[in-house]
Amino acid sequence: MEFEHKPVMLKECIEGLKIKNGGIYIDGTLGGAGHSREIAKKLENQGILIGIDRDEEALQAAKEKLKEFTNVKYIHDNHDNIKQIIEQLGIEKVNGILLDLGVSSYQLDQRNRGFSYLGENELDMRMDKTQELNAKMVVNQYSEEQLSTLIYEYGEERFSRQIARNICIARKEKPIETTKQLVEIIEKSIPKSKQKDGHPAKRTFQAIRIEVNNEIKPLYNTIMDCIDCLEKEGRLCVITFHSLEDRAVKNAMIDAKRKMHMSKRFTILCMWC
């Protein structure tokens, strides 16, 4: 499957970054290069565009889509390490950073990655396939209390206790290895009368994905690091997709504005799905 990405809020992101010809810009969530392509066009093969992604398939696809541009550096890493990344590149400060948080449409559509609750596929959910922790390990090895807590906190699922309890009961008989197995457990855990707000497994799958990829815990510090990496008048654009991301990002930006006297522009672009 081709790594397609329809960039969210593309016009707003490009306007927010105020791209300067010859500047240095980072797309910390390169994905299908939808945002990066527009940034590269604005740069006109001058300056530097740094594309970071922990998904190697995304990086390979992006290289193909951006092959006409000679000023792009591709980094297989996590945007949480942004300070170390630019230091290794010999760069002190950058003019703009874009973060499009969450899972990509390609990762959801590629069923064998285990992100989707549709169909029957191996439980995986790793954005970076080289890491050890995957969804199967979380579901089969975490305690009932751990599962209940993460499903409630990361999925905002009101039936988290029932789901965690039923997961633990089911895995005593045999390991839970597929998305279909997990979906069936979730569906049995939520009263039919309460299964009207989208797919019943949506919140639990989100919670497990966030845990596997450690998407929330480092986010506050990541935003603070991004701000610290900006030149004076530098710009940071962050697209969030749910309240957990939004809260961490806004808290960091509020604290940064209180602590810093330098002039930097912060833009939060929120998209709820």
Q: Name the region of 31 (left: φ>0; alpha: ψ -120 to 50; beta: rest).
A: left
Q: What is the DSSP letter of 53?
A: E
The segment(s) of the chain belonging to CATH 3.40.50.150 are: 10-102+216-270
Angle formed by the axes of helices 144-155 and 160-173, to 10°? 140
Short-list 215, 240, 257, CA closest to 99: 240
Convert the pLDDT of each residue in 205-260 to its tens digit.
999 999 999 999 999 999 999 999 999 888 999 999 888 999 999 899 888 887 76
- Whether 95 contacts 23, CB under 8 Å: yes
- DSSP-based three-state secondary structure for 109: helix
Convert the pLDDT of each residue in 48-61 to its tens digit.
999 999 999 889 98
Residue 198's pLDDT is 85
pLDDT of residue 162 exceeding 50: yes
Two tokens, residue 60: 């390979």
Q: Per CATH, is 119-213 categorized as 1.10.150.170?
A: yes
The residues that bridge with 98 in the sheet, in sequence order, are 27, 237
Residue 108's pLDDT is 66
For residues 56-82, average pLDDT: 94
The segment(s) of the chain belonging to CATH 1.10.150.170 are: 119-213
What number does CATH give the domain 10-102+216-270?
A: 3.40.50.150
Residue 273's pLDDT is 36
